[in-house]
């Protein structure tokens, strides 16, 4: 019985010592004795405001220094639109530091999301204006890096002829399609999209120079050439350059490619 009493006494004593510590750490008592007095926010505010950050942090900073949970603060701030990364740190005796980096949009992804420069997908409130001039990218989320890589390689290729790539589509079956700023749809197909794209971009200025009509579609899914679909001619263009809508025969494309290759060879010699 004496041993049991002794164990019970030690248990009560330990509880009396530990309870105040637990109470302080959880903010049950003495929260006003070690309050969080300062919030330091480090950020280049663009789309996230200082007021939004403070409103997200305040409910978590009322319990005192020891009771503030950095993980909870981090989650609250990370839930704000346009926030990409958050770092939270407590500094004795009364400072809470929050460092934020915002998403910097690189492209539109699909119908409703944006892709950041860091390769992360994020969504924004419906009323938030989206920056203009972003390319439109589509594809499986598991292939984001592949879609971005093709877009980056396509841009300088078509810039030579004064065109800009505005969209890249990778279908669920693995077929690639580009959209140029002129509205031209460039179908690359599933196999060897890079060399097909390079060949077409090299020949495009010469092909366009022979026509006075908008190029609607270029199908590159051929071994030795590509098929072109032209739109209605420009009413302001000379009459000699007008012709009905049709596809360019493969023989003409192959002949044009041969002429360009011959011209390049002569230039090198």
Q: Where in the chain are the domains?
A: 31-102, 135-268
Pick the CATH number of 135-268 from 3.40.50.80, 1.20.1050.10, 3.40.50.11690, 3.30.70.1450: 3.40.50.11690
Top pLDDT among 35 and 103 is at 103
Give the least confident one: 7-16, 129-138, 150-159, 195-204. 7-16
pLDDT above 60: residue 8: no
Among 90-104, 194-208, 242-256, which stretch is predicted with the lowest mean pLDDT? 242-256
The reply to whether 135-268 shares the fold of 31-102 is: no
Please check the confidence at residue 48 and state whether its pLDDT lies above 70.
yes
Prediction pTM value:
0.71
Residues 55-78 have pLDDT tens digits of 999 998 887 888 899 999 999 999
Contact criterion met (CB below 8 Å) for 18 and 53: no
Secondary structure E strands in the chain: 38-42, 83-91, 95-102, 105-109, 113-116, 121-122, 136-138, 165-170, 176-180, 185-189, 215-219, 227-230
Q: Identify which has the larger pLDDT, 245 or 208.
A: 208
Contact present, 149 and 160 (Cβ < 8 Å): no
Closest CA to 194 of 157, 141, 145, 166: 157
Domain 31-102 maps to which CATH number in 3.40.50.720, 3.10.20.310, 3.90.550.10, 3.30.70.100?
3.10.20.310
What's phi and psi for 215, nearest 5 deg? Answer: -85, 115
- pLDDT band at 5, cuts 50/70/90? low
């Amino acid at each position: 019985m004496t041993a049991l009493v002794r164990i019970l006494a030690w248990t009560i004593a330990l509880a009396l010592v530990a309870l105040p510590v637990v109470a302080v750490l959880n903010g049950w008592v003495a929260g006003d004795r070690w309050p969080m007095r300062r919030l330091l926010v480090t950020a280049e505010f663009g789309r996230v405001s200082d007021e939004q950050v403070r409103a997200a942090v305040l409910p978590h900073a009322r319990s005192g220094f020891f009771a503030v949970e950095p993980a909870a603060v981090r989650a609250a701030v990370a839930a704000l639109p346009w926030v990409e990364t958050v770092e939270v740190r407590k500094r004795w005796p009364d400072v809470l530091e929050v460092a934020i980096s915002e998403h910097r949009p690189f492209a539109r992804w699909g119908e409703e999301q944006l892709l950041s420069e860091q390769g992360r997908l994020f969504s924004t409130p419906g009323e938030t204006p989206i920056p203009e001039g972003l390319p439109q990218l589509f594809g499986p989320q598991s292939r984001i890096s592949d879609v971005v890589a093709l877009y980056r390689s396509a841009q300088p290729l078509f810039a030579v002829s004064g065109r800009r790539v505005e969209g890249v589509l990778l279908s669920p079956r693995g077929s690639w399609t580009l959209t140029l700023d002129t509205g031209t749809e460039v179908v690359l197909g599933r196999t060897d999209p890079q060399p097909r794209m390079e060949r077409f971009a090299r020949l495009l200025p010469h092909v366009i120079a022979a026509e006075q009509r908008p190029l609607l579609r270029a199908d590159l899914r051929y071994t030795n050439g590509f098929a072109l679909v032209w739109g209605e001619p420009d009413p302001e263009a000379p009459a000699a350059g007008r012709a009905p809508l049709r596809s360019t025969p493969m023989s003409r494309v192959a002949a044009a490619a041969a002429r360009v290759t011959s011209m390049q060879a002569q230039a090198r010699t």
